Structure formats: C-alpha cells, structure tokens
Amino acid sequence: MTKHKKDKHPDDQNKNVEPEEIKSETLENEESDSGSADILDSKIAELESQVKELQDKLLRKAAEFENYKRRTENDQFNLINYAAESFIIKFLPIVDDFERSMDHIDDIENNKSVKDGIKLVYEKLLKLLNEQGVKKMQTKGEPFNVDYHDALMQRKDNSVPPHTVLEEVESGYLYRDKVIRHAKVIVSEYSSADENQVSNDDSSDSSTENEK
C-alpha cells in the first residue's frame, strides 16, 4: 500500500511568505518615516536658526534706535539751553569796554575819555544788534505810523506838519521785518489854523456839492 504525500494547502504557503513581506514593508515604512523625520528636524533647526538671527538683528536695531534717540534728545536739549551762546560771546567784549569806562568814571580830569568810551560802547552795541538782524527805528521827523509808533502825547508845533514825530521817548526796534518794540513818541497836533483850514475846505466842498 503506497502512501501519498499530503499536498500543502495554498494557505499554508501564504503563511510562510507573509511574514517576510510584512517585515520588508515595515522596514520600508520605518525608513520612509525616519527620512521624513530627519527632513522635518532639519527644517525645524533651520527655522530656529533663522528666528534666532532675526531676533539678534531686532535687538541690535532696537539698541541703535535707543542710542540715536538719546543723542537726538541731548542735541535738542543743548540747542535749546545754549541757543544764545554765540550772541553772548559777541556781547562780552562790549561788557569789557563798559567795565573799562566805569574804572575812570570818577576821574574828573578824564571826563572826555569816559564819554568817548561810553559812546564807543554804544556804537559797538548797535553794530552787534544790526549783525543779529535787530535795527533801531528812525522816528524823529517821520510821519506818525501806528504800525511802528506809540503816541504818548501830542504837542503843538507849527514848524512841522500835523501828526509828525517831534520827540522819541523810548526807541523802537525791528527784528528783521517784525516790530519787536514800538517806539514811544510825542506827536505834533493840529494847530487852530490847520483846524480852520480843514473846516474851510470842508465848507467849500459842501458848497460845491450843493451848487451841483
């Protein structure tokens, strides 16, 4: 009696193959996941480096801006507090001249030299003011102008036209084109003859209009 070999069932064959295929696929998946993780880690590291670099740049810019702001504030402070420095430096020699004149003011024999010294100081002072754009008004003999003059009183004077500046009580000054102090002046007023002339002129004009 012959014994026949028992044929293997197809499922048994598959059972022998499946573990190797699964293992292979698992290794491939693991290698793929590992490669993706490496790429991701590399990308994260690159981004972190870029963020750190940008943060460093931002901190440097912030520090530079603070230094610039501090320097600007100091410059403005110095400009405001020492704006008149150049003018004061130019003014000091005039003070020196005054002091030299004061040293001899009680010396009667040198009275003329004291006067000359004071006159010289006054001329230097006006010159300095002119250099800074400050000019003294010329008022005496000029027609009264409310834009430049402040009339303190009126006085009769037939030698000049009405509303003419007769005397300057306090000088007026211009800074460039701006009046910084009006001149205080005494002004000539209308005389009685002038008033009569004005009255006659008005009457004549009125009569002419009535005739028309």
Chain centroid to Cα 145, Å, comes to 34
Q: E strands within the chain? A: 134-136, 149-156, 165-170, 173-175, 178-181, 183-189
Q: Length of the chain in residues, anyone?
A: 212
| Residues 45-103 pLDDT 10s | 889 889 999 999 999 999 999 999 999 988 888 888 877 778 778 888 887 877 777 77
Q: Which tokens sit at 63?
A: 């520090």
pLDDT digits (tens, 9 = 90+) for 150-204: 999 999 999 999 999 999 999 899 998 899 899 999 999 865 555 555 455 555 5
Give me the residue label for tokens 């006085």. Answer: 155
pTM over 0.85: no
